[in-house]
Structure 1
Amino acid sequence: MANTFSQIHIHVVFATQFRNALIAEKWEQRLYEYLIAIIHNQGHKVLAINGMSDHVHLLLGFRPNQALSELVQQAKASSSKWINEERLCTQKFAWQEGYGAFSYTKSDIPKVTHYIQNQKNRHQKVGFLEEYKHMLTSLDIEFDPKYIFQEPA
């Protein structure tokens, strides 16, 4: 649309079903590449991606031509279908319902990128639920703990 400009940066976090450690190191990079392709095909840009065996963080340059919920749903549905079709996981793979999405200004991008890129080091000291609750609290997001990502089964 003419004369329409936007600069939207969104940090998205989603977890495996029941937060089971299903994302194996031997194929996690392929998963990240697959997620990047899905997001790029929808007209958005992935600025950073990383995670752990039970969750993924993405930093997006988001275009306002699509609902964020639709993009995340497509990324999760397509990637879980791909993982299962490729038989990358020893059991049926699924993402947990829900996600976190946090907006940032351009000046925050280096800090958020560094945060995402250092997930493996960070999680040697801090667990996922503690990390996630800290993100919510530091951004003044009210939450009910019973709706936070489920504990591993």
Structure 2
Amino acid sequence: MEIKSDLRHGRHCVFKMHVHLVFVTKYRRNVFTKEVLDDLKIFFEKVCLDFESELVEFDGEDDHVHLLVNYPPKVAVSVLVNSLKGVSSRMIRKKNYPSIKMKLWGGALWSPSYFAGSCGGAPIEIIRQYIEQQQTPA
């Protein structure tokens, strides 16, 4: 896949797809420090590369993280999320952070739920207007 400007090209498609993801820690515990967030960013970037995706933006607070991911149409968001959460949880547990070990004793880092919102491109109203104005053959 080649990247030109902000449009990406696959073999049979041209695309620009972004998703805003939010992951919350199990029981909404405040376990993240700057060091943990820095490690999470590295893990998320590696997973994104495996999916031919790009982690465009990442940040978080004590109990949740936000990701902006540019991904190809062949990737299901649910599969990407599953991998992002699974790999990051496993790698963080390997590092044995005391703040996490004390507050999350069951082995799970993330709540099973997540937020995913599509973003980028023109607003829905503009797209709707554009489609309505197409020259339909009589």
Q: How does 1:103-118 map to 2 (within 5 A)?
A: 103-106=118-121
Residue 94 in 1 paired to residue 109 in 2? yes
Q: 2 CA distance for matches of 1:40 and 1:2? A: 18
Partner of 1:126: none
Residue 73 in 1 paired to residue 82 in 2? yes
Residue 7 in 1 paired to residue 16 in 2? yes
Q: 2 CA distance for matches of 1:42 and 1:3? A: 17
> Is the contact made by 1:25 and 1:53 (CA closer than 8 Å) also made in structure 2?
no
Look at both structures and tell me which one has the larger radius of gyration over its CA atoms: 2
Q: 1 CA distance for matches of 2:70 and 2:96? A: 31
Partner of 1:55: 64
Residue-pair matches, total: 108
Q: 2 CA distance for matches of 1:66 and 1:104? A: 16
Q: Gaps spanning 5+ residues in structure 2: where?
A: 1-9, 124-138
Partner of 1:40: 49
User: What is the RMSD computed on CA atoms of the aligned residues?
Assistant: 1.8
Q: Greater share of strand residues, 1 or 2?
A: 2
Identity fraction in percent: 25
Alpha-carbon shift at residue 47 of structure 1 (Å): 0.8
Q: What is the TM-score when the length of structure 1 is the normalising length?
A: 0.64
Aligned letter for 1:57?
A: H
Q: What is the TM-score when the length of structure 2 is the normalising length?
A: 0.71
Residue 84 in 1 paired to residue 99 in 2? no
